[in-house]
Amino acid sequence: MKFNVRGVGAAIGVAACCLSQAGELPSVEALEKVAKAAHAKFKDDQGGKNADYIPALAEVPSELFGVVIVTKNGDVIKVGDVDTSFSIQSCSKVFTMSLVMQESGEQVIYDKVNVEPTGEAFNSIQAIEEGDGRADNPFVNAGAIATVSLIKAKTAEERWDKIIKIYEKFAGSKLEVLADIYKSEAETNFRNRGIAAVLYNSNNLFAEPLMVTDVYTKQCSVGVNAEQLAVMGGTLANNGVNPVTKEKVIDAKYVPKVLAVMMMNGFYDGSGRWAWNAGVPAKTGVGGGVVAVVPNKLAIVGFAPPLDEQGNSVRAQKAIEYIVDTLGLSVFGPGK
């Protein structure tokens, strides 16, 4: 029987994310040096393979690799393939959760979705059935679908419009759906449709299941490049204010809750290992992106399509771990 991680409170993540960050923000020169070193160190790593359960993702060039750092002051440091658009995939879940909290407050996520780790795969149906019928947390597919259903909207179009507009505010730039990814994913998302039906049957989905699943599929198909995703993370590092455009996107009071869920669930059933190795809130996507946030300092994004067995980019997580460790940025302490 697989051990299922339940009853672990997100308070651990809140406490970690609220720990004071010792020292000043690293200089731009120091950030440039470490970003270049991380890229050089891991650019030839051959570990992992592209996701293929969404056929279009298998066609993305596996050699792509970019690293971007965005500071709370709006400094942007970028190395490698940082202008290539890729599908945001599950990194999107962070920003849809932020939208729902901004609309309806934090308690709606806690009460209607929950915030606990599952110890199961990101697309597990068993995790729902073993619990109380809720989705467990907003970052597994069930929780993300439930979160989309909580957006205040009367139509699919209104729901989608709210999602893309807040994503663009986080990124500080225009974003579009990658049509080939959306088509490929919509044609193969039968498991997510089943997840939505299970949630709806237990009264834990709050809009029509097929409509919600389609909107969720579309949000995962939004194209971002590594710089845009890093600005999105930088907005969280800057307490809800976009560090480049200076626009307030979400209230600062919600940011610790977002970061708590990122710490506890951002790497699915690899989240404990990530907390051990890196010690910063982060979220991954099967498109190859990983966005990590160092509270009140900066965000780091790695992008490389090949994934490990948990669906997390191999080179991206190694690069971020290297940067965090080199600069002593873990929220749990400086490490080396």
DSSP state letter for 207: S
Helix axes 141-149, 209-220, angle to 10 degrees: 110
Euclidean distance between CA atoms 87 and 135, whole angstroms: 24
Is 224 marked as binding a ligand? no
Q: Phi and psi dihedrals of 292, rounded to 5?
A: -120, 145
In terms of Cβ atoms closer than 10 Å to its own Cβ (0-12, 13-18, 19+), residue 27 is: exposed
75: its two tokens: 């400094």
Does the annotation list 286 as a binding residue?
yes
Instruction: Say whether 204 counts as a known binding-site residue.
Output: no
Residues 77, 75: Cα–Cα separation, whole Å: 7
- 185 among annotated binding-site residues: yes
Cross-strand bridge partners of residue 77: 69
Residues 103, 105: Cα–Cα separation, whole Å: 6
CB 303 within 8 A of CB 286: no
What are the C-alpha distances in Å from 186 to residues 8, 149, 219, 247, 270? 34, 18, 11, 33, 27
Phi/psi at 316 (nearest 5 deg)? Answer: -65, -45
For residue 60, count other CB atoms closer than 10 A to its CB.
18
Identify the residue whose tokens are 């399509």: 305
* 59 assigned binding-site residue: no
Burial class (CB in 10 A: 0-12, 13-18, 19+), 152: exposed
Find the Cα–Cα–Cα–Cα dihedral 2, 308, 181, 148, rounded to 10°: 40
Q: At what angle do helices 156-171 and 226-237 cross, to 10 degrees?
A: 80
Q: Which residues are annotated as a binding site?
A: 90, 141, 185, 192, 216, 268, 286
Q: Which residues are annotated as a binding site for substrate?
A: 90, 141, 185, 192, 216, 268, 286
